Amino acid sequence: MNGISASHVIVEPGGTGVVAHVGLHALGCFADRLGLGDSLSARIPVAGERLPIHDRGKVLVHTALMLAAGGESCADIEHLRLQSDLFGSVPSDSTVFRTFHQLDATTRAGIAEAMAEMRAKVWSRSSVANGSSPVILDIDASLVEIHTDGKEEAAPTYKGGFGFHPMLCFADATGEALASMVRPGNAGAKTVTDHLNVLDAAIGQRPAPIAVGHRFGDDVELATRAARHSEFAGAVGIDVYFAEPHSPWLRPTTRTSTGCCGDTSARARTSGSTARATSTGSVTGSTPCPDGSTSGSQRSTAPVRASLR
**Average pLDDT by consecutive 10-residue portion of the chain (309 residues)?**
76 72 87 90 82 87 92 90 87 92 91 91 78 80 86 89 93 88 91 90 85 70 57 67 46 40 36 35 37 39 48
Instruction: Let me know the angle formed at the C-alpha of 84 by 78 and 85, rounded to the nearest 5 degrees.
Output: 145
Are 158 and 301 found together in one domain? yes
0.75 surpassed by pTM? no
The number of domains in the chain is: 2
Are 304 and 274 found together in one domain? yes
Residue 17 lies in a domain: no
Final residue of a structural domain among 80, 100, 121: 121
Residue 34 lies in a domain: yes
Final residue of a structural domain among 121, 153, 178: 121
Are 167 and 99 found together in one domain? no
Q: pLDDT (tens digit, 9 = 90+) per residue, 281-290?
A: 333 333 344 4
Final residue of a structural domain among 86, 121, 156: 121
- The pLDDT value recorded for residue 163 is 93
- The pLDDT value recorded for residue 88 is 87
* Core vs surface per residue 227-237: b (16+ CB within 10 A) or e: bebeebbebbe
- The pLDDT value recorded for residue 13 is 72
Inter-CA distances, 113 with 11, 124, 130, Å: 33, 17, 20
Whole-angstrom distance, CA of residue 209 vs CA of residue 117: 13
- The pLDDT value recorded for residue 293 is 42
Are 224 and 295 found together in one domain? yes
Are 154 and 282 found together in one domain? yes
Are 174 and 286 found together in one domain? yes
Q: pLDDT (tens digit, 9 = 90+) per residue, 144-202?
A: 998 877 788 899 998 889 999 999 999 888 888 999 999 999 998 888 899 989 998 99
Are the CB atoms for 145 and 161 separated by under 8 Å?
Answer: yes
- The pLDDT value recorded for residue 227 is 54
Are the CB atoms for 119 and 205 separated by under 8 Å?
Answer: yes
94 SS3 class: helix
In terms of residue numbers, what domain contains 205?
Answer: 126-308
Whole-angstrom distance, CA of residue 181 vs CA of residue 273: 26
